[in-house]
Amino acid sequence: MGMISIEGMEFFSYHGHFKEEQVIGTRFMVDLFIQVETSAAEVSDKLHDTVNYLSVYETVKREMEQKSHLLENVARRIITAIHHEFPDVLDAEVKVSKLNPPLGGKIDRVCVTLNSDDVNEQA
């Protein structure tokens, strides 16, 4: 078993509670950690024996392109899509960060982190 991480995926998206955020947009960072059985790929050195990182990135990108009011909603959609499109993923954790959020002061980011257990408990 192994943990594959795709970290620092940066997107320009239109997520936010305020109307201006949904019009102007801002930068987001996504870190994704997926647990998969890697033993076959470790021996074979073949892409078809593991999860294709490019396909996973494209799934995250597609979810980031859909507007949401809350980071919690974005994170849940990402985990749900990962499990739906990649059945070999045993567990997933995603951290969605809004960079330079409009909160009235100098703030680097606000983040929401969810894992598969959080999503499964609420289903």
Catalytic residue, chosen from 46, 67, 95, 98, is 98
Hey, CA dihedral for 30, 1, 56, 88, is it positive or negative? Answer: negative
> What six digits make up the tokens of 9?
């995926």
Q: Is 98 marked active-site? A: yes
Query: Which has the closest alpha carbon to 82: 94, 72, 95?
Result: 94
Distance CA 111, CA 30 (A): 9
Length, in residues, of the chain: 123
CA atoms within 13 A on the CB side of 20: 3
Place of tokens 């499109």: 85
Distance CA 35, CA 89 (A): 6
Which residues form the catalytic set? 98
